[in-house]
Structure 1
């Protein structure tokens, strides 16, 4: 029987796959690879999907493909791993992700035919790895990830609490229901995930959980997410070795503005908080107001603080060089929009939390939903 902590992570991965559809992320299944062996790179096995690397096949519980292909590049595929734990995600988790993508990206270009048959090109992809953690990441994990461009998204911020609470309640209910069932009737994690995928992603893979005591909490989780379906997590890509996870209390305000002005200037602010590491905010310089928030890896924040030039000058350097142009992708039905947020360094502001306020100078504290 799966541990409660592990089940939370699995359910969170499915929820993230649903949320990230709006950023162009589409969950893959075996059906997305119609090739026959030995050219096949996706395969369904007992415990789910696996993907072929140069040296091994790798478990791919949540593997997605972005619907756009950057110029002079390969199609991009993303592993999304979620850690729903009390402790921070550590170096072994990040090191494993690096090992997986390194092997996949080193995959051979061609496969030899039988006998005298000519070799045939094998489709290649650019694999990336993103790790989401509800408790943040250890220092060595962050340093390793930054060095090897493994993206870390910290879900411990208050913005993500409602989302994490939905997953926590659903996982506990499923776990309790499964624990009370005879071993022969307990659904596998694969069946539980398939059931949730039917409701969130419309993927009808078999088998799927069918016990009402198990499917009921999953139905409530899906319904709770749909009630907030206009909001969600958006991936943003700065000129930096990390990905930003942007959240907003009113994401529709941003989308209305961005559809009218796909490329526009923004202000970036850094807020010191009494508790937790700083939050960064993005607001438009002109036009209707919106607000996006994100956090940087703690090691990047520590680097900003540990400089002789002073905090403000180092933060100024960050925004001028790493956050000056942020690209975002948004999928609306079958159309993919590209938005670019441009920042001018003379617009930078840095503020501190006022005593008794939760988010000074910005109004109320942003929430995920």
Structure 2
């Protein structure tokens, strides 16, 4: 029987797949690869989807593809791995993610042929890896991820507490229900995930859990997500070797503002907490219409803020080059919108020492 901690992680991955859909990613299944063996790169096996690399096939529980291809680039696919644990995610998890994407991106077969007909180009992809953790990351995991461009997204922010509690309660209910069942009647993790995907993503890909004692808590999870549709995660893309996971207690307010002004100026500042590392805040330069929050792993933040006396300020370089704009994509039914948040060093200086009643003292980022 699956461990409770493992089940929480699997349910969190399904929740993230649902939330990330609003950031322009769609969950992939075997049917999304029309090629025939031996050229297929997606295949469904006993425990779910696997994807072919240069040296091995890799489990892909949550694999999304960005709906649009960036200019002069390959289609982008994203592995999303979620860890719902009491301890920080360590180096082995991050190292495994790097090994997976390195093997996939090295799969360089560029043509297909049936042996008798002409060769034809084979579509290639650029794979990325993002790890979401409810308890943060160890220092060596952060350093390795930063060096190899594995994105680490911290879900320990207070804004994520309702979401964490919802997943935790649902996993506990499913786990308790299965403990009372005969082993032969227990749903597999694959069937539990398929049930959620049918209700959240309208994907029908294999057998799904059907015991009411198991499916009822999953229905509560799906309904809770829909009720909290204003609380969600959206991925943001700076010109940096990481992505940002932005969250708000009223994401709809941000969407309304951004639909009216797809490109607008913002302020960014760090908010020092009494416990834990700082939270960063983004809000529009004109009007307090919304507030987005994110938290960076400590080593990533230290890399950004690091300054050495007598050398060029890395923070100024970050301001001008990596953090001059943040791009977000928002999917609403069949339409995809592109938003860009722009800021400059002048805007940082203006909010230096600014008091914020709800969050305590805020200081400028740079």
Query: TM-score range with shorter-chain normalisation?
Result: over 0.9
Q: Give 1:223 deviation, angstroms.
A: 0.6
Structure 1 position 338, deviation (Å)? 0.6
How far apart are residue 305 of structure 1 and its match?
Answer: 6.0
Return the offset for 1:358. 5.8
What does residue range 1-369 of structure 1 map to in structure 2 within 5 Å? Answer: 1-111=1-111, 113-287=113-287, 289-303=289-303, 307-309=307-309, 318-348=318-348, 349-351=351-353, 359-360=359-360
Aligned position for 1:366: none
Q: Whole-Å Cα distance in 2 between the matches of residues 305 and 110 of structure 1?
A: 42
Q: What TM-score results when the alignment is normalised by the length of structure 1? A: 0.92
Q: Which region of structure 1 is more displaced relative to structure 2, 315-324 or 229-238?
A: 315-324
For residue 225 of structure 1, report the CA deviation from its aligned partner. Answer: 0.5
CA shift for structure 1 position 115: 4.4
Q: Secondary structure at the match of 2:176?
A: helix
Is the CA contact (8 Å cut-off) linking 1:327 and 1:341 kept in structure 2?
yes
**CA RMSD for the aligned pairs?**
2.0
CA distance in 2 between counterparts of 1:115 and 1:253 reads 56
- Between the two proteins, the alignment pairs up a number of residues equal to 358
Which blocks of at least 5 consecutive residues in structure 1 are unaligned?
Answer: 363-369
1:105 touches 1:125 (CA, 8 Å); kept in 2? yes
In 2: Cα distance, 1:252 partner to 1:114 partner = 50
Question: What is the rounded CA distance, in whole Å, between the counterparts of 1:87 and 1:154 in structure 2?
Answer: 13
Matched position secondary structure for 2:360 = coil
* Contact residue 268 and residue 319 of structure 1 kept, 8 A: no
Aligned counterparts of 1:205 and 1:3: Cα–Cα separation in 2: 24
Moved more, 216-225 or 246-255: 246-255
- Asked if structure 1 preserves the Cα contact closer than 8 Å seen for 2:112 and 2:122, the reply is no
Tell me the SS of whatever aligns to 1:55.
Answer: coil
Shift of 1:108: 2.4
Moved more, 267-276 or 132-141: 267-276
8 Å CA contact 1:272, 1:353 repeated in 2: no
The Cα shift of 1:123 comes to 1.4
Distance change in 2, residues 1:91/1:245 (3 Å): same
The answer on whether the counterparts of 2:146 and 2:241 sit within 8 Å (CA) in structure 1 is yes
TM-score (norm: length of structure 2): 0.92
Give structure 2 stretches of 5+ with no counterpart: none
Distance in 2 of aligned mates of 1:83 and 1:205: 24
Matched-pair contact (CA < 8 Å) for 1:271–1:352: no
Deviates more, 1:142-151 or 1:253-262: 253-262
Partner Cα distance (1:114, 1:31) in 2: 20
Deviation at 1:183, TM superposition (A): 0.9
Post-superposition shift, 1:120? Answer: 3.3
Check conservation: 2:12, 2:167, Cα contact below 8 A.
yes
Q: Which residue of 2 aligns with 1:365?
A: none
* Separation in 2, partners of 1:318, 1:238: 10
Q: CA deviation at 1:274?
A: 1.3
C-alpha deviations, 1:32-68, integer Å up to 9, x for none? 1122112211111000001111111110000011111
Distance 1:96 1:90 in 2: 11
CA contact (8 A) 1:38 1:111 kept: no
Question: 1:271, 1:350 within 8 Å by CA — same for their partners in 2?
Answer: no
